[in-house]
């Protein structure tokens, strides 16, 4: 074998990154006096430009849903963000398939698309599903035809960079097929970065009137089976808004979230009086319990071997976010400053971020 990195060796590298100490327990990160404002916009850690834009629009009187969608469109359009929209990482066939949902508090309405190809702003299409159909979710070919009938132009979403990452992954996937990595090559830095990060952007907002809205958009898991749909377009999993209570969204392992209706659970915990941060933590505790029934998703200590993060705002303008593992961050614009803050967490252990490098694909 002349190749410098075999599939097995590569995955071992990923696992060894997670061999630090483990201390269970929740941690309150945000000082209480700082975690309330109105309006407020919250997002996943890749959403600082989205929170900035959305806050500007809300301050100028825009509807909170229009504001968060315009915010995430910046990231969808950016070829450098390989987790959403244009330049998002493709499925195992090298085709980019996008998922997105939107939910509007004042009308308690939602729209979503899944497995959408060739359209770089699935969040805009999701909003049209909400407004211009009597359905809540369109998928695949039907979603594409719907988008085209509203004038969206098809384009190739695979950039040279995402194609290269896909090809490297394909070449190192197996020692028993006909795809060979370049003999000279060490691990490609772009591939390493792709496997060590996960994507998706969620953005939720509360405007000055007290109306809530949210959007989640993603290219889903890199190298997914074509047709795989994650949590992002599933109302109640990747996003949920109840205008009387609050809004919540998620990033991370979609399958775990779908199986537990995570964002709906966060909103329900807020309904019971928990703060947004507590509600996120309580949902993650519930998911950790359920994960004990999913052996392929557990690490050597019986804890979830994946990443999952929730972001939430309540009607009062309190906000918070929590992750299974320490070290994750979220973006928030509270009307005064637009910053990244640390998420609260369940497990105090430095884990690699992605599902790939946490061993799920062994």
Instruction: Give how far the C-alpha of residue 264 lies from the chain's centroid of Cα atoms, to the nearest Å.
Output: 15
Among 90, 252, 317, 320, contact with ligand ASP (rule: CB under 6 A): 252
Asked if residue 162 binds ligand ASP (CB under 6 A), the reply is: no
- Which listed residue (18, 121, 200, 334) binds ligand ASP by CB under 6 A? 200
Q: Does 124 bind ligand ASP (CB under 6 A)?
A: no
> Quick one: which of 91, 121, 232, 243 contacts ligand ASP (CB under 6 A)?
232
| Two structure tokens written together for 96 | 């980019």
C-alpha atoms less than 13 angstroms from C-alpha of 253 in its C-beta half-sphere: 29
90 interacts with ligand ASP by CB under 6 A: no
- Which member of 214, 220, 246, 262 binds ligand ASP (CB under 6 A)? 220
How many angstroms separate the CA atoms of 225 and 228, rounded? Answer: 6
Cβ atoms of 205 and 40 closer than 8 Å: yes
Rounded to a whole number of angstroms, the minimum distance from the CB of residue 237 to ligand ASP is 9
Catalytic residue of the set 200, 216, 251, 260:
200
**7, 45, 198, 315: residue in contact with ligand ASP (rule CB under 6 A):** 198
Task: Decide: is 218 part of the binding site for ligand ASP (CB under 6 A).
Answer: yes
Residue from the set 37, 51, 118, 251 that interacts with ligand ASP by CB under 6 A: 251
Extended beta strands in the chain, E state = 40-44, 98-104, 109-116, 137-139, 201-206, 212-218, 239-242, 246-252, 308-314, 319-325, 329-333, 338-342, 344-347
Nearer to ligand ASP, 232 or 334 (CB): 232
- Give the binding range for ligand ASP (CB under 6 A) out of 151-159, 169-177, 194-202, 282-290: 194-202
Q: Are 214 and 104 in contact (CB under 8 A)?
A: no
Choose the stretch contacting ligand ASP; rule: CB under 6 A; options: 1-9, 179-187, 226-234, 279-287.
226-234
Instruction: Tell me, yes or no, if 200 is annotated catalytic.
Output: yes
Q: Are residues 129 and 146 in contact, defined by beta-carbon separation less than 8 angstroms?
A: yes
Spatial distance between the Cα atoms of 263 and 331, rounded to a whole number of angstroms: 18
Q: Give, as one character, the DSSP assignment of residue 153.
A: P
Is there binding between residue 231 and ligand ASP (CB under 6 A)?
A: yes
Stretch that binds ligand ASP, among 106-114, 164-172, 180-188, 247-255 (CB under 6 A): 247-255
Out of 47, 90, 230, 276, point to the residue binding ligand ASP (CB under 6 A): 230
323 belongs to the binding site for ligand ASP (CB under 6 A):
no
Q: Least distance in Å: CB of 254 to ligand ASP?
A: 2
Check residue 199 for interaction with ligand ASP (CB under 6 A). Answer: yes
Using CB under 6 A, pick the residue from 221, 240, 306, 356 that binds ligand ASP.
221
Angle between helices 64-77 and 122-132 (to 10 degrees): 150
Pairing state of beta strands 137-139 and 109-116? Answer: parallel
Nearer to ligand ASP, 35 or 97 (CB): 97
In 3D space, the residue among 34, 24, 30 whose CA is nearest the CA of residue 278 turns out to be 30
> With binding defined as CB under 6 A, does residue 85 bind ligand ASP?
no
Should residue 146 be labelled a site residue for ligand ASP when binding is judged by CB under 6 A? Answer: no
Contact 345, 323 (CB under 8 A): yes
Q: CB–CB of 323/42 below 8 Å?
A: no
Q: In what order do the strands lie in the sheet with 308-314?
A: 239-242, 246-252, 308-314, 319-325, 344-347
Q: Rule CB under 6 A: which residues touch ligand ASP? A: 198-200, 218, 220-221, 230-232, 251-252, 254
């Amino acid at each position: 074998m002349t190749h410098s990195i075999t599939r097995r060796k590569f995955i071992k590298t990923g696992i060894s990154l997670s061999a630090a100490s483990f201390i269970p327990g929740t941690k309150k990160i945000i000082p209480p006096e700082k975690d309330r404002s109105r309006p407020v916009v919250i997002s996943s850690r890749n959403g600082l430009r989205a929170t900035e834009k959305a806050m500007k629009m809300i301050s100028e009187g825009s509807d909170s849903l229009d504001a968060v969608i315009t915010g995430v469109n910046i990231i969808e359009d950016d070829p450098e963000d390989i987790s959403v929209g244009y330049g998002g990482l493709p499925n195992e066939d090298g085709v980019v398939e996008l998922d997105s949902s939107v939910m509007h508090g004042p009308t308690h309405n939602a729209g979503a698309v899944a497995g959408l190809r060739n359209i770089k702003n699935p969040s805009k299409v999701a909003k049209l599903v909400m407004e211009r159909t009597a359905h809540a979710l369109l998928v695949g070919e039907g979603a594409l035809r719907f988008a085209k009938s509203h004038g969206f132009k098809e384009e190739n979403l695979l950039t040279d960079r995402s194609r290269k990452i896909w090809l490297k992954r394909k070449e190192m996937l197996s020692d028993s097929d006909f795809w060979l990595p370049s003999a000279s090559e060490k691990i490609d830095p772009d591939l390493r970065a792709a496997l060590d990060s996960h994507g998706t952007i969620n953005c939720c907002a509360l405007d000055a009137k007290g109306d809530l809205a949210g959007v989640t958009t993603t290219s889903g898991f890199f190298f997914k089976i074509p047709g795989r749909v994650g949590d992002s377009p599933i109302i109640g999993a990747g996003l949920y808004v109840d205008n009387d209570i609050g809004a919540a969204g998620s990033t991370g392992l979609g399958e775990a979230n779908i199986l537990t209706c995570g964002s709906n659970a966060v909103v329900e915990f807020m309904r019971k009086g928990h703060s947004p941060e507590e509600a996120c933590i309580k949902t993650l505790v519930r998911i950790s319990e359920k994960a004990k029934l999913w052996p392929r998703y557990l690490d050597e200590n019986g804890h979830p071997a994946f990443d999952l993060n929730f972001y939430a705002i309540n009607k009062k303008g309190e906000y918070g976010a929590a992750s299974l593992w320490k070290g994750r961050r979220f973006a928030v614009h509270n009307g005064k400053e637009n910053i990244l803050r640390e998420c609260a967490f369940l497990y105090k252990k430095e884990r690699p971020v992605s599902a790939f490098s946490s061993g799920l694909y062994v």
